[in-house]
């Protein structure tokens, strides 16, 4: 064995487990902003608490980063010696200390939960916090959301909504821009959709007349009565048959909640071609009995 090999072997054997432990103690942990870490609170202060997260020096969590919830005693939300999860919001300073947060972690979890609710088209209860000319601001599980005036069921007296709890669906969730836009009408429409079924007789008001058919408001849902489903007889001009705000009864022919579509039919209520056009009142007055007979044709 040459002299260089002997020196190398001696150097390797001289590095003991104690040396390895000391090396770990002096290791420079590279904590990064956004990183999730675990640690224990070991000292409470009036303005926050110190956390052992395994670095060369302790981490600090400011009082206003402890939680989204309101509290009086910091020990209630940051109990001593209990292992908790934190997110780093400020990287190491000159002393190697990082700043961590529990509040931001809770916010991250809420954004994730809201995104999942949106994907499932589920609604959520929100509390009205403020009003402006464009709509209302709401508290969404601690986050600030907005409902445009056009997406409220009550659009005239917005001040009366302050402090109320509303059920709303999601229009837009943009976590990167901290944007959370909701719709009360969307949630109401979704709830009403659940009460509808194919073959059901419904009553609604005509909101629009087009060459291809008429739009009917059914419990807040815009349904279409296509020209081919009005009568078994050909219709040349729908404006001669219907008037805006006219109330009609029709059978639900098809439902597609995903596309927010409801197809109606009055053709199925006829006993003979053209009856709807010739004896409108008679068809409407006996619509329930006619719908029962026609239900099997739809199903």
* CATH architecture of the region 35-101: Beta Barrel (2.40)
CATH: 3.30.70.20, 2.60.120.380, 2.40.50.140, 3.20.20.70. Which one for 197-298?
Answer: 2.40.50.140
Rounded to 5°, the CA angle 217-156-195 comes to 30
Tens place of pLDDT per residue across the chain (299 aa)? 555 554 445 445 555 666 555 554 544 457 888 899 999 999 999 999 999 998 777 899 999 999 998 899 999 999 999 999 999 999 888 877 899 999 999 999 999 999 998 888 788 999 999 998 899 999 999 999 999 998 998 788 899 999 999 999 999 999 889 999 999 988 877 777 778 888 999 999 999 999 999 999 887 778 999 999 999 999 999 999 999 999 999 999 988 866 668 999 999 999 999 999 999 999 999 999 999 888 765 55
Beta strand pairing call for 261-265 and 221-226: parallel
Q: Is 210 left (phi over 0), alpha (psi -120 to 50) or beta?
A: beta
Distance, CA of 24 to CA of 27 (rounded, Å): 5
Domain residue spans in the chain?
A: 35-101, 120-190, 197-298
Q: Which CATH superfamily is domain 120-190 in?
A: Nucleic acid-binding proteins (2.40.50.140)
Question: CA 15, 20, 25, 28 torsion: positive or negative?
Answer: positive
């Amino acid at each position: 064995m040459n002299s260089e090999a002997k020196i190398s072997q001696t150097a390797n054997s001289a590095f003991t487990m104690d040396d390895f432990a000391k090396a770990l103690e002096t290791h420079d942990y590279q904590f990064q902003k956004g990183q999730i870490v675990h640690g224990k609170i070991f000292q409470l202060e009036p303005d926050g608490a110190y956390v052992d997260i395994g670095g060369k020096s302790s981490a600090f969590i400011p009082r206003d980063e402890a939680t989204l919830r309101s509290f009086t005693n910091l020990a209630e939300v940051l109990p001593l010696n209990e292992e908790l999860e934190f997110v780093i919001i400020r990287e190491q300073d000159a002393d190697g200390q990082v700043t961590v947060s529990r509040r931001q972690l809770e916010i991250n979890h809420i954004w994730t939960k809201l995104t999942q609710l949106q994907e499932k088209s589920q609604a959520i209860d929100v509390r009205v916090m403020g009003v402006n000319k464009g709509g209302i601001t709401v508290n969404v599980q601690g986050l600030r959301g907005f409902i445009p005036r056009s997406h409220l069921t009550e659009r005239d007296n917005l001040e009366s909504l302050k402090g109320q709890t509303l059920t709303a669906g999601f229009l837009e969730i943009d976590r990167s821009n901290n944007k959370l836009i909701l719709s009360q009408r969307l949630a109401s429409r979704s709830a009403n959709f659940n009460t509808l079924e194919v073959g059901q007789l419904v009553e609604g008001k005509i909101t629009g007349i087009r060459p291809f058919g008429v739009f009917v408001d059914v419990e807040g849902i815009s349904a279409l009565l296509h020209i081919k489903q009005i009568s078994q007889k050909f219709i040349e001009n729908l404006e001669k048959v219907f008037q805006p705000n006219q109330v009609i009864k029709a059978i639900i022919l098809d439902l597609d909640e995903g596309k927010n579509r409801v197809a109606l039919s009055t053709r199925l209520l006829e006993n003979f071609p053209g009856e709807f056009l010739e004896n409108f009142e008679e068809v409407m007055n006996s619509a329930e009995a006619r719908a029962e007979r026609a239900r099997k044709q739809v199903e």
